[in-house]
Amino acid sequence: MLYQLYEAQRSLMEPFADLASVMARSFNNPLLPLAHLPQAQRLAAGYALLHRLGKDYEKPEFGIRTVPVDSVDIAIHERVEMELPFCQLRRFKRFSDDTATLAKLKGQPVVLIVAPLSGHYATLLRDTVRTMLRDHKVYVTDWKNARTVPLSEGEFHLDDYINYVQAFIRYLQGGYGNCHVMSVCQPTVPVLAAVSLMASKGERLPLSMTMMGGPIDARRSPTAVNNLAMTKSYEWFENNVIYRVPSSFPGAGRRVYPGFLQHAGFVAMNPEHHAKSHYDYFEHLLKGDDASAEAHRTFYDEYNAVLDMDADYYLETIQTVFQDFKLVNGTWDVKDSDGQIRRVRPQDIRDTALLSVEGELDDISGAGQTQAVHALCTGVPEARKHHYEAQGAGHYGIFSGRRWREKVYPTVREFILAHNAPTKPSGGRAAKSTEPSPS
């Protein structure tokens, strides 16, 4: 009933949020009498804040139209390259009319960025994607909101997540010969499992894996997030955070961990910070500081946009990663895409270079949790392993913002380049495009 009550409340609040937006614009419009009333600017700011607090936040766009490459603006065309029930493989195709630039783009590495499925949309990695596009052909996993997936599409388990990653890797290998894989936060664990299973079966492996701020071994330096997952039982999560999607959505009846509950958890981790941020937004509006107000809107448009996660996937992740530690204990069995149950063996990986990235101040994935991947991948030569700690960076700082662009990204770029091998199309769909000047 909680989900239904939330939706009823949201429906009731929506017209008031819309009214607040209208009032804010009215008090700001010099052509209207309201703008000339005493305290008009303060009233406009107040209504604008009420609108932000009460509005419904939908999935944002990536909105990447161009990227600079050697002082040349490269056009970006975003398109869905592969469609699965719970995820889209999204491509950011680059175009240029400059012959020299085009030749450079065509020879650059292919990178699959596996985005988190942990509450926010893949657009949380917008800065990651935009920056990577300078020197790479970029694909990203765009996970769907589970409440939009009809029950007829079946269940979605952690094993399915792993099989999806394998399917995307094989797809890019079929088009380009090979690829690099980059995982941010939550997907570090299933990505390592996916590549491990491919190695055990003797399949061609990605040229490199970049693991960023993820809970490979959540026992190390546990954070508040880790402690919650470790101290509450599987049954507690199933009984307290799992609800069925209301009838007003395509996924009606599906068991999910609702986005609004996840958002409440995000805010509860640091309520004082968010309260201050909203008060600062009000102050920025009063002072006419449009740049700071827009920065607030941009951040919270992303932060407040959340998705529902399928219950099976969520509960299995909690149990596998944070309670039983199956990856590091060597006890993880996965139902592979061929229907066979296989043991995850990271030690079977030999040909894939390995980069781990952590933030010095990360309060989501603690120190050493990501670096633990090196101890698991004993088959990878030490010369092909590298660990980087971003000084002064928190969790989001390792993949977004100034520290990502100036400190972390150069390390990632050079690592991928150092382990990139010449590739050639092998007839896959990714190599068949007839669009002009692609990359």
pLDDT beyond 90 at 422: no
Residue 341 has pLDDT above 90, yes or no: yes
% residues pLDDT > 90 (the chain): 80
Residue 161, exposed/middle/buried by CB under 10 A (0-12, 13-18, 19+)?
buried
In this structure, are residues 132 and 138 in contact, taking their beta carbons and an 8 Å threshold?
A: yes
In this structure, are residues 148 and 250 in contact, taking their beta carbons and an 8 Å threshold? yes
Q: Which amino acid is at 327?
A: L
Residue 90: name the closest of 135, 144, 134 by CA: 144
For residue range 253-269, what is the model confidence (pLDDT) as tens digits?
999 999 999 888 888 87
**Which residues have CB under 8 Å from 100's CB, separation 6+?**
none
* pLDDT tens-digit map of 159-216: 999 999 999 999 999 999 999 999 999 999 999 999 999 999 999 999 999 999 999 9
The DSSP H or E segment spanning 265 is: helix 259-269
SS3 417: helix
Domains of the chain: 2-56+259-303 (no CATH), 66-237+309-431 (3.40.50.1820)
SS3 content of the chain, % helix, strand, coil (to 5): 50, 20, 35
- Structure token digits, residue 26: 């009215």
Residue 16 in contact with residue 54, Cβ under 8 Å?
yes
Residue 439 banded pLDDT, cuts 50, 70, 90: low
Per-residue pLDDT at 270: 83
Read off the pTM: 0.91
Span 237-251, average pLDDT: 95
Structure tokens at 148: 């939009």
Distance between CA 379 and CA 356 in Å, rounded? 16
Q: What is the pLDDT of residue 101?
A: 86
Give the integer Cα–Cα distance in Å for 118 and 396: 14
CB count within 10 Å of CB 235 equals: 9
C-alpha to C-alpha distance for 439 and 436, rounded to whole angstroms? 9
Kindly compute the dihedral angle of the four CA atoms of residues 314, 317, 320, 324, in this order, to the nearest 10 degrees: -70
Q: Which of 291, 312, 14 is CA-nearest to residue 146?
A: 312
